[in-house]
Structure 1
Amino acid sequence: MRPKYPRHSVEKALRISRAILEQNAGKACTPKEAAAYLGMKAQGPFNVEVGSGIKYGFLERPESGKIKPTDLARQILRPKNAESALEGYRTAVLQAPDISEVYKHYRGENLPDDVFFKNTIADSFSIPEDSFEDFKQVFVESLQTAQLVNDHTGKLRVLDVSEESSSPEDKDERIKRMGAKVTVHSTDTCFVMQPFAAPLGGYYDKIYKPAIEKAGLQAVRADAEIFATGKIMDQVWRGINSAKVLVAELTSRNPNVFYELGLAHALKKPVVLISSNENDVPFDLHHIRVIYYEMSDPFWGNKLIDKVAENILSALRNPEEAIFRSGDISA
């Protein structure tokens, strides 16, 4: 199956729309005429470029044999204010096939090293390995143009604008689609490893329990559910051992959380890692997916609930993304 993503970055895919606007006042024209505006022939490379423009929503076919720039292309090329062009770029990226889905997968996270990135887009998005370099270039350039990625200590962090760009219904539907691809029983649990003291301790009821239930599992936390009787560590061990997936809040480098995380890794359990501070994530965990949240974002709580739910389901479907393997770390 051929990959669906546009073969040009979002900026390069505007070239035909720009030419039609500048040389034909934005009116519909034939592909041959549009190609001539660019000094090209209406053949292979030009047709691929037309396809990219259509996939981003920059070109439309108002009638058979004609193409013309869309309102979205005009919004970017003829912006009415400083924010208009950026909003247009983001709209284009977030509706482009494959690019939008990979963005949603990694939003709020650092892009992984190439070997893991290649495996994920091949396994989860059916993009062939021999298309990886091409896809990565288009993907990264497009996110940079749309200001959906920035540099964090040498890693590319994918920004989460889901609250501004997606309706609650769209987000719920995405989680339902992901849930349909995994088997979750009503008795399956997700064990939460987090500090108990405020403010982090309060995230259990506000963030993690709702997220886990949204993914269809039962939320379990040591202090609330299993510390009532018996030896504490025996019950922690049983809670971790019986969990189908786990969540670890790494913010503040809490030693109890790290100890429990070590137990989970020893059992080869998939763990969804979360932190508000990249410095709180140990170096040897950087190859595993980590959700980073920004508390300065007024929507951070809602975004985190949805993202944790999605990553739980993703970890169940592709546990290799969330299981610690010492062999993945370079000496």
Structure 2
Amino acid sequence: MKKGMDKKAEGNKKKAPARETQKAPEDLYAKRVERAAADRHARKQRPFPACSFEEALDFAKQIFTFGSGQPVRRLLIFDHIGKSSESGPSRQLITNSNKYGLIEGGYQAEFLKLTQKGARAVDDEIPRREQAKARAELAVLDIPVFNQLYEKFCGSKLPPRAALIDAASDFSIPTELGEECVDTFIVNVRFAGLLQTLSGSERLITLDHFLDSLPASGVGNTPRIAHTFEGAGGALITASSAEFEKTCFYITPIGDEGSEQRKHSDLFLGSIVEPAMDQFGLKVIRADAIDKPGTITRQIIDYILRSRLVIADLSFHNPNVFYELAIRHAAKLPIVQIIRLSERVPFDLNQMRTIRIDTSDIYSLVPKIESYRSEIASQTRRVLEDPTSSDNPISTFAPSLTVTIG
């Protein structure tokens, strides 16, 4: 009798993982938030900001515009941009803006104000060179580890990731933070204009070289540098055996075999999205790789609601993509958005950070592939570490909305 009970208990243990994937989205969401918080608590303190400089700069611009350059009340500025002043993402935004030297005042301060250099970085009325210099200093040169990496490789081609990570470890960056440090560094030097395509490859140039390339006269609006990718195949997987916690579901316009949309999707999947997910141990699944009899829509919705991450490609303004993205928004689960540089981000989504990829020609795309991978990885790391860090229109205006699966 005891032997039979032992076998039954053993059978129950084997079935447990299968039941785990049947949890409602809000249960998975709570579990992921709890796990991410525990990981952050256990992780060593970052000696660099936990977001890209561009994201912090956008917040500084809001402060500058709202207060006409004067200090602003913390509660009022977050009400102005439609965010809760006490939320985790808002506190993190203030912390990172402080680390970049853009603002003064913590997340409990009554007032937030721009630093002198922060004001120069966002004021479009000052000479362009002065603004560009302030941005480069704040984004790279004033962050010790970024400055060390920059000084080590300045004047050379952007080295392989492994070389950058190894160099970061020489500068006392813990092993578990190496990937994140390098991703943020690449995104920042690119935004600051210190990483440019020369002679067919991306090279780190001196600040003087960059400033000399700007017009001697003229004001602000330092040009942003765009973003880009190759095809992929892969074995079909079945939804019944999918490990959703190790899955990144790729929402993308697929199109018919040989169509422009299919070639585009294959290019992005194989050259950018999949390589960017390698460091996270996430398997990238596209809808046409789901091989299970039944209603395809139900299977797709399973992946949308249960995958640990969704990357949504807004290129071609495909209605199915927007429909699927809205479901993920309603579930308040982590998302990264990408789009071709030549296309407009729809109004309802343009408040969410979207990676823009330049596919105008092969000469624009190929040299920047590594940078695009780093930008996707950087955003992925943020939303996985803190699933609440990425607000969307639904979570902002209907915070009590919950989604369940019957």
2:387 equivalent in structure 1: 319
The one-letter code of the counterpart of 1:301 is I
1:194 is aligned to 2:166: no
In 2, the alpha carbon distance for the partners of 1:140 and 1:238 equals: 43
The one-letter code of the counterpart of 1:177 is L
Aligned residues of 1:192 and 1:248 also touching (Cα < 8 A): yes
In 2, the alpha carbon distance for the partners of 1:110 and 1:282 equals: 22
Instruction: Map residues 291-310 of structure 1 onto 2, 5 A cutoff.
Output: 291-295=355-359, 296-310=364-378
Aligned residues of 2:121 and 2:135 also touching (Cα < 8 A): no
Residues 228-267 of structure 1 show CA distances to partners (whole Å, capped at 9, x for unaligned) of 4221011001111111121011111112211110111111
1:207 equivalent in structure 2: 272
2:294 equivalent in structure 1: 230
* Aligned partner of 2:281 among 212, 216, 228: 216
1:144 equivalent in structure 2: 131
- Range with bigger deviation, 196-205 or 171-180: 171-180
Q: What is the CA distance between 1:176 and its match in structure 2?
A: 4.4
Aligned residues of 1:109 and 1:291 also touching (Cα < 8 A): no
1:105 is aligned to 2:52: yes
Structure 1 residues 328 and 165, CA gap change in structure 2 (3 angstroms): farther
Q: What is the CA distance between 1:306 and its match in structure 2?
A: 1.5
In 2, the alpha carbon distance for the partners of 1:235 and 1:186 equals: 12
1:170 equivalent in structure 2: 164
In 1, the alpha carbon distance for the partners of 2:57 and 2:114 equals: 18
Q: Secondary structure at the match of 1:320?
A: coil
1:262 is aligned to 2:326: yes
The one-letter code of the counterpart of 2:246 is D
In 2, the alpha carbon distance for the partners of 1:300 and 1:180 equals: 18
Residues 127-150 of structure 1 show CA distances to partners (whole Å, capped at 9, x for unaligned) of 52555522742544698324979x
Aligned residues of 1:270 and 1:323 also touching (Cα < 8 A): no
TM-score, with length taken from structure 1: 0.53
1:290 equivalent in structure 2: 354
In 1, the alpha carbon distance for the partners of 2:180 and 2:132 equals: 34
Q: Secondary structure at the match of 2:281?
A: coil
In 1, the alpha carbon distance for the partners of 2:57 and 2:312 equals: 17
In 2, the alpha carbon distance for the partners of 1:199 and 1:110 equals: 31
In 2, the alpha carbon distance for the partners of 1:278 and 1:126 equals: 33
In 2, the alpha carbon distance for the partners of 1:326 and 1:268 equals: 8
In 2, the alpha carbon distance for the partners of 1:210 and 1:267 equals: 26
In 2, the alpha carbon distance for the partners of 1:238 and 1:300 equals: 34
In 2, the alpha carbon distance for the partners of 1:313 and 1:219 equals: 15
Aligned residues of 2:165 and 2:178 also touching (Cα < 8 A): no
In 1, the alpha carbon distance for the partners of 2:180 and 2:338 equals: 24
**Unpaired runs of 5+ in structure 1?**
1-96, 150-160
In 1, the alpha carbon distance for the partners of 2:319 and 2:286 equals: 16
Aligned residues of 1:193 and 1:248 also touching (Cα < 8 A): yes
Residues 181-239 of structure 1 show CA distances to partners (whole Å, capped at 9, x for unaligned) of 9xxx9942211111221123332122111111222322222111x24422101100111
Q: Secondary structure at the match of 2:322?
A: helix
Q: What is the CA distance between 1:124 and its match in structure 2?
A: 4.3
Structure 1 residues 317 and 132, CA gap change in structure 2 (3 angstroms): farther
TM-score, with length taken from structure 2: 0.44
In 1, the alpha carbon distance for the partners of 2:268 and 2:49 equals: 28
Structure 1 residues 327 and 217, CA gap change in structure 2 (3 angstroms): closer
The one-letter code of the counterpart of 2:370 is N
Structure 1 residues 118 and 108, CA gap change in structure 2 (3 angstroms): closer
Aligned residues of 1:189 and 1:245 also touching (Cα < 8 A): yes
The one-letter code of the counterpart of 1:216 is G
Residues 131-178 of structure 1 show CA distances to partners (whole Å, capped at 9, x for unaligned) of 5522742544698324979xxxxxxxxxxx999667523368689417
Aligned residues of 1:289 and 1:321 also touching (Cα < 8 A): no
Structure 1 residues 260 and 133, CA gap change in structure 2 (3 angstroms): same
Which structure carries more relative contact order (alpha carbon 8 Å, separation 6+)?
2
Pairwise CA RMSD: 4.2
2:72 equivalent in structure 1: none
Q: What is the CA distance between 1:323 and its match in structure 2?
A: 3.7
Q: Secondary structure at the match of 1:220?
A: strand
Q: What is the CA distance between 1:120 and its match in structure 2?
A: 4.0
Structure 1 residues 166 and 180, CA gap change in structure 2 (3 angstroms): closer
* Aligned partner of 2:306 among 229, 242, 246: 242
Aligned residues of 1:186 and 1:217 also touching (Cα < 8 A): no
